[in-house]
Amino acid sequence: MKQIVLIATTLLILFAINYNIVKKEAVLRNGKTMLLRLAPVDPRSLMQGDYMILRYAMANEIPDELLKNKGCIVVISDKNNVASFLRIHDNNPLKENEHLLFYRNRNGLRLGAESFFFQEGNAKLYSNARYGELKVDESGTSVLAGLRGDDFSSLGTKGIPSIN
């Protein structure tokens, strides 16, 4: 009986992990590109290698008293796909060019992946990062796809975003 429970638990864990991977791959493949302005960061860690902690400037624009533990905000994108905060989503239909972006409010507003790992020695490539490139689906789920510079061009090779 113990063996059956162990096998069933293992299969359930593997299914859950693979399901999340497939969901994130679908967002990367089919999601809308949205750029979020980055706040200043430090791209080094002795324990984890080279990575950049990401903080999004938009998080500072949203009043804390409007936020729940989690939910969606409504953003609008400009011609360069740079997103700007409009309002907290109140379940009303979205207007043209409005999009949802899921957030969590845990010791500060979190709008997406909070770290970007890259190959050791490539810190200089990403030191000019000004935007986080997110792929966002219709429900507001986002996946970090890369980093971009002031001119909106992709920086370096694609890193490995953290899964939060």
**118-140 as b/e, with b when 16 or more CB fall inside 10 Å?**
beeeebebbeebbbbbbbbbeeb
Report pLDDT for 125: 79
**8 A C-beta contact, residue 35 and residue 83:** yes
57 and 82: one domain?
yes
26 and 53: one domain?
no
| Structural domain count of the chain | 2
2 and 40: one domain?
no
CA 114 to chain CA centroid, nearest Å: 7
53 and 132: one domain?
yes
23 and 47: one domain?
no
User: Which residue type occupies 100?
Assistant: L
Tens of pLDDT, residues 57-74: 998 888 877 788 899 999
124 and 140: one domain?
yes
pTM as predicted: 0.76
For tokens 């030191």, the residue is 127
Tens of pLDDT, residues 70-119: 999 999 999 999 999 999 998 889 988 899 999 998 877 888 788 887 77
91 and 127: one domain?
yes
Strand partners, 98: 76
49 and 127: one domain?
yes
CA 60 to chain CA centroid, nearest Å: 16
**8 A C-beta contact, residue 34 and residue 145:** no
82 and 142: one domain?
yes
Q: Which residue range is the domain that position 60 belongs to?
A: 32-161
11 and 36: one domain?
no
Report pLDDT for 159: 45
140 and 105: one domain?
yes
77 and 6: one domain?
no
